[in-house]
Amino acid sequence: MRCLANHKRMVQIGCGQSRSVKMDEIVHAAFAMGWEILWPLILGFTLSGIVQAVVSHSEMSRLLPDDRPRSIAMALGLGAASSSCSYAAVALAQSIFRKGANFTAAMAFELASTNLVLELCIIMIALMGWQFALAEFVGAPIMVAVMVLLFRTFLSPRLLREAKEQADRGITGRMEGMAEMDMAVSGGSLWQRITSNEGLTAISHSFVMDWASVWMDIVGGLLIAGALAAWVPHEFWQGFFLADHPLLAKLWGPLIGPLVAVVSFVCSVGNIPLAAVLWNNGISFGGVIAFIFADLIVLPILDIYRKYYGLRMTGFILATFYVSMAVAAFIVEVAFGAVGLIPEERNAQVVEASVTWNYTTWLNISFLLLAALLVRRFMVTGGPEMLRMMNAPARSGMNS
């Protein structure tokens, strides 16, 4: 069976059987996947913009004073209400840490902001199935709980002091400007805040800046997914993931998933297409979840940790995050397997490599009109100037 048939030109993520595919066909396949997930992405970023318009960042440092359960639960809630951009999450976590938030709580916020956000859930359901989205939302709090235990056990006061001194030096990484932006609207009921001029403007600004911050990851993830599906033999993946040894695969998947993510360079929602490729090619259910968890330890972000907190703390974050991700993913694997929630078929979303008049096209057109309205408001309310400041250092005086 060919990955791109001449008649219907269907593309199945993870097919991995044709290695004579040309680059233009890879791009075509990436466009097909992108077209299938376009409306869920627009919906997700719109909902995220609404949440960010009514949830303020200004109180985060006060709300995260320690690593007690209440503060960690608050960190999870604040993270779920923030942008899904991994770079923005890392920058904001550093910002609130410098302003007095507890370091462990700041890291819990960081993990939640890339694993509990609405757009991630929507895109996982659209591309992989509701079981994976449920596993993500069950596993993320478990991952944070393991991380907190590891931090309490192994994080020394000296290492924390060194990290704080390094953070206070203000060395820039990426998205510092976006992290400092606080566009939340106060006063009035929830509906009044959303529909007010200030609320609509805040929603449009959050919407466009979220897109601007993750579009490279999304495009990169689609292209890499298409390339892996076409060029890497299915047999290689089967052997690499120990697919012929079910018990070993359940143990191996959560261990290897984060390591694959580290070298993929793709984070945020952009790693979902890659996760679909891995799933269709034999990685365990827990391995998929571990891979998705690991967007905060990819190589570019590890380099930002080095700038923010120093080399020793970067190593500590990498080790503790990796263990937390692997343990949480294994727990999810066992729990979901026990209740029969792991899909039996490995059939990530099949999409057509051409635009046809089906429900996806109509939904995409409708949501593109919504996106156009938000972009227009962004353009006429000072958005382009704020967009240019997304990567500006916090010390540049950016504020809401």
Residue 6: pLDDT band (50, 70, 90) is very low
Q: Is the pLDDT of residue 253 over 70?
A: yes
d(CA 359, CA 345): 24
Q: Percentage of residues in the chain with pLDDT exceeding 70? A: 79
DSSP H or E segment with residue 394 = none
Q: Are 275 and 135 in contact (CB under 8 A)?
A: no
The backbone region for 39, taken as left when phi is positive above 0, alpha when psi lies in -120 to 50, beta otherwise, is alpha
pTM here is 0.75
Out of 44-58, 81-95, 265-279, which region has the weakest mean confidence (pLDDT)? 44-58
Question: Residue 142 corresponds to which tokens in the numbers above?
Answer: 């478990």
Better-predicted residue by pLDDT, 165 or 33: 165
- C-alpha distances out from residue 133 to 125, 146, 166, 167, Å: 6, 20, 36, 34
Out of 168-182, 241-255, 260-274, 282-296, which region has the weakest mean confidence (pLDDT)? 168-182
d(CA 144, CA 325): 9
Q: 3-state DSSP call for residue 340? A: coil
Please write the tens of the pLDDT for every residue from 119-178: 788 888 888 889 999 999 999 999 999 999 999 999 999 999 999 999 888 666 555 555
Mean pLDDT of 365-389: 89
CA dihedral of residues 88, 94, 100, 102 (deg, nearest 10): 100
Closest C-alpha among 256, 300, 263, 297 to residue 278: 256
Maximal C-alpha separation, the chain: 65
